[in-house]
Structure 1
Amino acid sequence: MATPTITLVTAVPNPATFGQSVTLTATVIPLGAGTPTGTVTFTITGGPILTGTLSGGTTSVVASGLSAGVHPVVATYSGDNNFLSSTGSTVIAVVHASTTTSVVSTPDPSTLGAPVTFTATVTPVAPGAGAPTGTMTFVIGGSGGGLFTQPVTAGVATLTLSTLGIGTHPVVAIYSGDASFLPSSGTDTHTVIPAS
C-alpha cells in the first residue's frame, strides 16, 4: 500500500520586490519510511506553472516576472509507486519597487531663445528591476517656465522648451509611479545666458 505524504512549500524572498525572482521550494514528507520521488508542479496565480523533480524529497524552482500584488501558490506532488500524491500552498507577496529620479538639461547653459531639452531618468532601486512607465511632471521655475507633464517610456521622459528667460531656473522632475514602481523625484538647475 502506498504511503501518504505531506507537501510543504516555501517562497524566498517573501515579500519580494517587483523585478526580483522568487525561489519556491517544496518538501515532500512521507508518513512512513522511505524517500518520495517524482515531480512537484507549482501553480502560481497570475504567474507561470513550473515543475521540479524531487531529489532527496525536495525540489526548487525559480519564478520570475511576477506583477506587484499577491500570488497564491499551490504545489502538487505527483506521487510515485510507493507514495501518494499531496498538495501544499503558500502565498507570494510582490511589493512595488522603489525608484530614484535624476534630471539633466542640455545644453546647460543655454542661450536666450534656444531650445533646451530636459531629460528625466527613473531607475529602479535594487533588488527591484524593470522599465518604469507612467508620467513625469517637470516643474521649471523662473521666467518662461511652468508645470509640464510628459509620458515615461522605458524609464525616460523628455521635455523641450525654448521659452526660458535669462537667469537661473530651478528644475524638479516628479515621477508619478505606476503599477510596479513607487514615485520619486529629482532636481537640477538650468541657466540661460544672453544670446551673443
Structure 2
Amino acid sequence: MASPTITLVTATPNPATFGQSVTLTATVIPLGAGTPTGTVTFTITGGPTLTGTLSGGTTSVTAPGLSVGIHPVVAVYSGDTNFLSSTGTTLIAVIQAATTTSVVSSPDPSTLGQSVTFTATVTPVAPGAGAPTGVMTFVIGGSGGGVFTQPVTAGVATLTLTTLGVGTHPVIAIYGGDTSFLPSSGTDTHTVT
C-alpha cells in the first residue's frame, strides 16, 4: 500500500528583485520508509509552469522573468508506486529594481547656436535586470534652458536643443520610474562658448 507524503516548497531569493531569477525547491517528505521518486510540477500564478524530477526526495527549478507583485505557487508531487501524491504552496514576492541614471551632452563644450544632444541612460542596479521605460525629465539651467520631458526607450532618453546661451548650464536628468523600476536621477554640466 502506498504511503502518504508531505510536499514543502521554498523560494529563493524571496523577495526577489525584478529581473532576478527565483529558485523554487520542493522537498517531498515520506510518511513511511523509503525515498519518493517522480516529478513535481510548479504552477506559478502570473508565471510559467515548470516541472522538476526528484532526486533524493528534492527537486529545484528556476523561474525567470517574473513581474513585480505577489505570485502564488502550487507544487504538485506526482506520486509513484510507493508514495501518494501531495501538494505544497508558497508565495513569491517580486519588488521593483533600483536604478541609476547618468546624463551626458554632446558636443561639450558647444558653440553658440550649435545643436546639443543630452543623453540620459537608466541602468538597473544588480541583481535587477531589464530595460527601463517611462519618462525622463531634463532640467537644463541657464539661458535657453528649461524643463523638458522625453520618453525612455530601452533605458535611454535623448533631448536636442539649439537654444542654449553662452555660459555654464547645470543639467539634471530625473527618471520617473515605471511598474518594474524605481526612480533615480543624474547630473552633468554643459558649457557653451
Give the TM bin, normalised by the shorter chain.
over 0.9
In structure 2, give the amino acid aligned to 1:149.
Answer: T
Q: How does the TM-score come out when normalised to structure 1?
A: 0.98
5+ residue gaps, structure 1: none
Q: Give 1:167 deviation, angstroms.
A: 0.4
- CA distance in 1 between partners of 2:68 and 2:106 (Å): 35
Q: Give 1:113 deviation, angstroms.
A: 0.5
* 1:40 corresponding residue in structure 2: 40
SS at match of 2:174: strand
- CA distance in 1 between partners of 2:13 and 2:119 (Å): 34
5+ residue gaps, structure 2: none
Aligned pair count? 193
> Once the two structures are superposed, what CA deviation does each residue of 1:4-52 show, in whole Å capped at 9, x if it has no partner?
0000000000000000000000000011111000000000000000000
Q: How does the TM-score come out when normalised to structure 2?
A: 0.99
* 1:94 corresponding residue in structure 2: 94
* 2:26 corresponding residue in structure 1: 26
- CA distance in 2 between partners of 1:160 and 1:118 (Å): 6
Stretches of 4+ moved more than 6 A in 1? none
What is the root-mean-square deviation of aligned Cα atoms in Å? Answer: 0.4
Q: Give 1:182 deviation, angstroms.
A: 0.2
In structure 1, give the amino acid aligned to 2:10.
Answer: T
Q: Give 1:131 deviation, angstroms.
A: 0.5
> Once the two structures are superposed, what CA deviation does each residue of 1:101-137 show, in whole Å capped at 9, x if it has no partner?
0000000000000100000000000000010000000
SS at match of 2:159: strand
Q: Give 1:163 deviation, angstroms.
A: 0.3
1:183 counterpart = 2:187: no
In structure 2, give the amino acid aligned to 1:131.
Answer: A
* 1:123 corresponding residue in structure 2: 123
What is the aligned-residue identity percentage?
87
- CA distance in 2 between partners of 1:70 and 1:177 (Å): 19
> Once the two structures are superposed, what CA deviation does each residue of 1:30-89 show, in whole Å capped at 9, x if it has no partner?
111110000000000000000000000000000000001110000000001110000000
Q: Give 1:152 deviation, angstroms.
A: 0.3
* 2:149 corresponding residue in structure 1: 149
